[in-house]
Amino acid sequence: MKKVLILIICLLPVVATAQRPKHSAVVAEAPRNVIFVVGDGMGTAQVYSSIVAQRSHRSAFMRFPFSGFSQTYSYNRYTTDSGAGGSALMTGHKVENHHVAKGPDGTEYNSFLVDAKRFFGKAAGFVVTSSVLDATPASTYAHVANRKSFDTISMQMALCPFEVMIGGDKNHFLPANRKDGKSPIDTLRGRGYDMVYTVEDMTRSRSPRICGLLTPDNPPMATERGPMLTLSALKAIETLNRNDNGFVLMIEGSQIDWACHNNDSLYLAAEMADFEQMLNAVLDFAERDGQTLVVVTADHETGGLTLLKGDIEAGVSRPTWATGGHSGVMVPVFSFGPGASHFSGVMQNTDFYNKLMLLMSIAK
């Protein structure tokens, strides 16, 4: 009996070593590039309604091998707003509702985009279908206690280190429309950005630094703006991918949230179809590239949407709404590419920053 115990004790380190993942296997899962996609207000019902509409097999969501859920509550509320929700996703810290990347004690938190540039030399950028000053894009570069502090946010954006920034809201960058009389456009132009104001000019740009303010105010809904989201995402990928150290890109389907605030099922269907078109383009790039991690989630759910009736064969869902605001339910997570398995299961919205930074540190 003593000999058997001695043998087991001697073998324990060998067994433990055999069960431990080899470093080479972890390195193989480390992405060169990260594309982080946010469907603002996009819960499980919003996703499923899109899967039904796309007849399942055509849906981009069916292309992801891993999925999970994210808990969305903020520092001080069961139900988050977009400022706190976006900040948690981008910075790894829960903040109070209406704050952007700024803690209750005033601490400023960097986003994973800023830190990926700082620590790993990545190129970085964002693409949205809202104002570039809205809560989610602002959480990638700004630090304010009030998400509506647009004069402050726009100047912080004008000084941020990203190579690509594309969305709407040129008006907030013009001195005539500001209380402080400053011109963030002049600051951006002085820092070498190609300032573009139409989708066509954006597409033609060959600059390594692009700031696209493609509409005077918020961009119109998907039925009116056309393929702006997909074209902007592809331009961002093309531009950022020139960097030898890879890139990080945040893409937001911003108006999924707006459709749900309005409890407008047709508006939602159009935004989800536009989101799917962009996702397919992003996944096509990631498949060809082989070194790109794609993670999709939401900052929160909007509308309390549920699907009680529908017709699978016809691709039709009959939405029922519980609220015109946000809900506190978990939101879905989808992942594809090297490191995708790290984003399955139930997680906190603050986990994304840490997981992404860890994976990028291994790749480096």
CATH assignment at residue 229: 3.40.720.10
Query: Is 17 domain-assigned?
Result: no
Alpha carbon distance 191, 158 (integer Å):
9
Model confidence pLDDT, tens digit, residues 228-261 = 999 999 999 999 999 999 999 999 999 999 999 9
Q: Is residue 21 part of a domain?
A: no
Domain count, the chain: 1
Using one digit for the tens of pLDDT, what is the confidence trace for 107-118? 999 999 999 999
DSSP element (H, E) containing 114: helix 112-120
Has residue 14 got a pLDDT over 80?
no
**In the block, which residue shows the tokens 């997909």?**
230
Question: Does 11 map to a domain?
Answer: no
**Could you tell me the pLDDT band of residue 13, with boundaries at 50, 70 and 90?**
very low
What DSSP character marks residue 102? Answer: B
Residue 47 domain-assigned (yes or no) = yes
Domain with 58 in it: 29-363
Q: What percent of the chain has pLDDT over 70?
A: 92
CA-CA-CA-CA torsion sign (141, 144, 145, 148): negative
Any domain includes 284? yes
> Which pLDDT value is given to residue 268?
98
Determine the residue type at 162.
F
pLDDT of residue 259: 98
Q: In this structure, is residue 7 part of a structural domain? A: no
Adjacent-strand bridge partners of 125: 164, 249
Q: Is residue 182 part of a domain?
A: yes
Distance CA 364, CA 358 (A): 10
181: left (phi over 0), alpha (psi -120 to 50) or beta: left
Provide the mean pLDDT of the chain: 92
**Contact status, residue 337 vs residue 294, Cβ threshold 8 Å:** yes
Tell me the per-residue pLDDT of 53-72, one tens digit each, with 9 for 90 and over. Answer: 998 778 999 999 999 999 99
The reply to whether 313 falls in a domain is yes
